[in-house]
Structures are given as structure tokens and as C-alpha cells.
Amino acid sequence: QNLSPPTFYDTSCPNALSTIKSAVNAAVAQEPRMGASLLRLHFHDCFGCDASVLLNDTATFTGEQGAGPNVGSIRGFAVVDNIKAQIEALCPQTVSCADILAVAARDSVVALGGPSWTMLLGRRDSATASLSLANTDIPAPNSSLSQLIAAFNKKILNPTDMVALSGAHTIGQARCTTFRDHIYSDTNINQAFAMSLKGSCPAGSGGANVMAPLDTTTPNAFDNAYYTNLLNQRGLLHSDQELSNNGASTDSIVSNFSSNATAFSSAFATAMVKMGNISPKTGSQGQIRVLCSRVNAS
Ligand code: HEM
Ligand SMILES: [Ca+2]
């Protein structure tokens, strides 16, 4: 069953969307990086947009937060819990955590100066999680271009969608452990850029959690500087720089997005809508969780 129009909550919870927007704006005003973290949560949820990423591990339940791409890395749960609590007070068990994540991701991009788009709604929340799917389906930062294309293609996202969605790395931060190999071992990297990162991200195993901005130019602005960085061999992750690599099939998409901000904005919006529609639960599937961090008691 398909998702519903953006008016889905207009009768059942008329203030849902404005509540999410105010909370996201407040969180991003307090810490700009939170916009990046919320956007990434939606991505890691959506590779099935069913809020499974939000479920905590318990003695009897294994969630997805321990998956390789998530562990010690995804953040923003307190902001989501806060939004959910406000909405539950307005309209109990009506607005899903998956829809909250989808709308919060959009509002985060807008709060940092990026494009807006219209989201379909009516996603429902899962009663299960899949650690193994999170491990196999979310691409790793050492992925090659062909692996990236394949991982997105598996979700019916084409190479242009993949390059546009990677532009989310125009905001936010990454840990040394995710870019160490790139700055020490890769050749497709600007040497001065690599040198500047080596100071705080040493070879070996030290400094694993030291952070660097994914977009060295404008880390807190949702713009197209990410693509210009790639043209200058200043992508932070191996997977970023793979998109622009002297003869890569995606080179022309990167140069187009670098020179044409409008083309990037519209491709990003299109791809976010597609990503937000990946295998949602709808109708009577799943549930509307009371707390985003755990399934409802049966
Ligand atoms: C193309 C494949 C992708 C790979 C390999 C990848 C990998 C990564 C890695 C390794 C980090 C740093 C994590 C850490 O150090 O803890 C990161 C951060 C981030 N990713 Fe991606 N990512 C990809 C695609 C995406 C997509 C599609 C989005 C959203 C549409 C996204 C949004 C973000 C954001 C916003 C951050 C910063 C989060 C923060 O500062 O809290 N990424 N990504
Ligand atoms: Ca930027």
C-alpha cells in the first residue's frame, strides 16, 4: 500500500507538523550539527522507513543501534523522543515515529539553509528490527563507486540519486576511524588536505573518535560546497571521493552539482522523497509506537 498525501494528519493531529518544525528549529539553533544527525537517522532508518533504527536494545530485544554503521555514531535520539512526547500529549498514538523522522530530516535541511520538499505521510512503525539488514544494506565508508551504486540500486535509487544523497555530507561530522585509511592510504586526495587531517587523526589506532567536518568549507550550511570539495580532492571519506575520481562514471554529475546549486537542490529533494518511500509500513501494518525507543507492550 502506498503512502498518503501530506495532509494525512490534518484532521487527526493538525499541529503535528508545526510541532516537529519548532522542535527541530530549536535543536538546530542550539547545535547546528543536530540537523545533520537527524538527517542521517532518517537515512539509516530508510534503507524500510519504519523507525526500526530508533529501537533500543534490551535484555530480550536486539535493535539496530549495534550495527556497524550505527554503533557509537548515530545520534539525535533525545530530540526525537522530545518531539514524540510533545505530539503524544496532543494526539495519543496517532503520529508514527517513522513519519516524525522523515519530517524532522526535511526540517533539518531547511533549518540549515537547504531545499524543502513535500513528504508523503502515513508510515507506520515496525514491531521488529533487523540488525543484519542494517549491517548489509547501509554502505560503509570504504565502499568503492560500484559498491555504492549497487547499494543504492538495491533500494531503487539510481546513480544520480546516490550522488545527490551523498550531498548530505555538506553538513555534519565524521570520526577519524571512518576516514583514517583515506587520508593515509589513498592517492585520490589533496595532499595538503590529507596533511591537515593527519594532525588530529594519527596513523594506527589513536584518536579514533576525533571529529572532522564532512564538508571542510561550510560544515553547517546545506549548500553545494561538498561537490566543489570533491573536484578539489577534498572529500573526507573514501566513499565521498569515489564519486569524483578522474574517469569515474559519476564525475559529470559531481561537476554539474558543483556548478549548479539549483540542479543539486532539486535532485536532492527528488531523491529524499524517493528514499522516504522505501518499503514503508502502511494501513494496518506495524503499529504507532507510544515511545519511539521501544515497541508497544502487547
Ligand atoms: C553514500 C553512502 C554513504 C556512506 C558510505 C556514508 C557514511 C558516513 C559516515 C562514515 C559518516 C560518519 C559517521 C561517524 O563518524 O560516526 C557519515 C555521516 C553523515 N552522513 Fe553519511 N554516508 C552515506 C550516505 C549518506 C546519506 C544518503 C545521507 C543522508 C541523506 C547521509 C547523511 C550523513 C550525515 C548528515 C552525516 C553527519 C552526521 C552527524 O554529524 O551527526 N549519508 N556518513
Ligand atoms: Ca556545506
Write the secondary structure of 92-121 as one string of H (helix), E (strand) and C (coil).
Answer: CCCCCHHHHHHHHHHHHHHHCCCCCCCCCE
Residue 32 has pLDDT above 80, yes or no: yes
Question: Per the structure block, which three cell numbers stand in for 68?
Answer: 556497524
Express as a percent the part of the chain with pLDDT over 70. Answer: 100
Mean pLDDT of the chain, nearest integer = 97
Mutational test site, ligand 1, from 146, 166, 177, max ligand atoms within 8 Å of CB: 166
41/293 Cα distance (integer angstroms): 13
Measured between alpha carbons, how far is residue 136 from residues 44, 163, 233 in Å?
12, 20, 28
Our answer on whether the CB atom of 39 is closer than 6 Å to any ligand 1 atom is yes
Q: How far is the CA of 297 from the centre of ligand 2 (A)?
A: 42
Write the CA distances from 237 to 88, 140, 180, 194, 195, integer angstroms.
39, 10, 9, 11, 15
Q: Angle 16-30/77-90 helices, nearest 10 degrees?
A: 150
Tell whether ligand 1 has an atom less than 6 A from the beta carbon of residue 174: yes
Rounded to two decimals, the ipTM of the complex is 0.99
The amino acid at 295: V
The answer to whether residue 238 scores a pLDDT higher than 90 is yes
C-alpha dist (Å) from residue 170 to 40, 104, 270: 12, 17, 17
Non-local (6+) Cβ contacts of 76 within 8 A are 34, 37, 38, 40, 41
Q: Is any ligand 1 atom within 6 A of the Cβ of residue 142?
A: no
- Identify the CA nearest to 250 among candidates 190, 162, 137: 162
Q: What would the mean pLDDT of 189-216 be, rounded to a whole number? A: 97
The residue assigned the cell 544494506 is 137
Q: DSSP E strands: which ranges in the chain?
A: 173-175, 211-213
Helix axes 97-111, 16-30, angle to 10 degrees: 50
In the chain, the amino acid numbered 107 is D
Ligand 1 touching residue 141 (CB < 6 A): yes
Ligand 1 in reach of 24 Cβ (< 6 A): no
Expressed in angstroms and rounded, the spacing between residue 117 Cα and the centre of ligand 2 is 19
The string of pLDDT tens digits covering residues 162-187 is: 999 999 999 999 999 999 999 999 99
Per-residue pLDDT reduced to its tens digit, 137-148: 999 999 999 999
Cα separation of 102 and 250, whole Å? 27
Residue 125: predicted pLDDT: 97
> What residues have CB less than 8 Å from 55, skipping those under 6 apart?
61, 63, 64, 65, 126, 129, 293, 294, 295
User: Residue range 82-96: average pLDDT?
Assistant: 98
Q: Locate the ligand 1 atom nearest the alpha carbon of residue 173 and give its number.
A: 40
- Chain segment 248-272, per-residue pLDDT in tens: 999 999 999 999 999 999 999 999 9
| Pairwise CA distance, residues 56 & 295, whole Å | 9
Q: Catalytic residues, which ones?
A: 44
Q: Which ligand is nearest to the CA of 180?
A: 1
CB of 121 closer than 8 Å to CB of 2: no
The residue whose CA has the least distance to atom 18 of ligand 1 is: 174
> What's the pLDDT score for residue 46?
85
186 marked among binding-site residues? no
pLDDT band at 1 (very low <50, low <70, confident <90, very high): confident
Q: How far apart are the first and last CA of the chain?
A: 24
Predicted confidence band of residue 109 (pLDDT cuts 50, 70, 90) = very high
Q: Give the chain's count of helices (H) and strands (E).
A: 13, 2
Task: Give the cell for residue 52.
Answer: 526500526
Is the pLDDT at 47 greater than 80, yes or no?
no
Beta carbons of 116 and 90 less than 8 angstroms apart = no
Atom of ligand 1 nearest to the CA of 239: 5
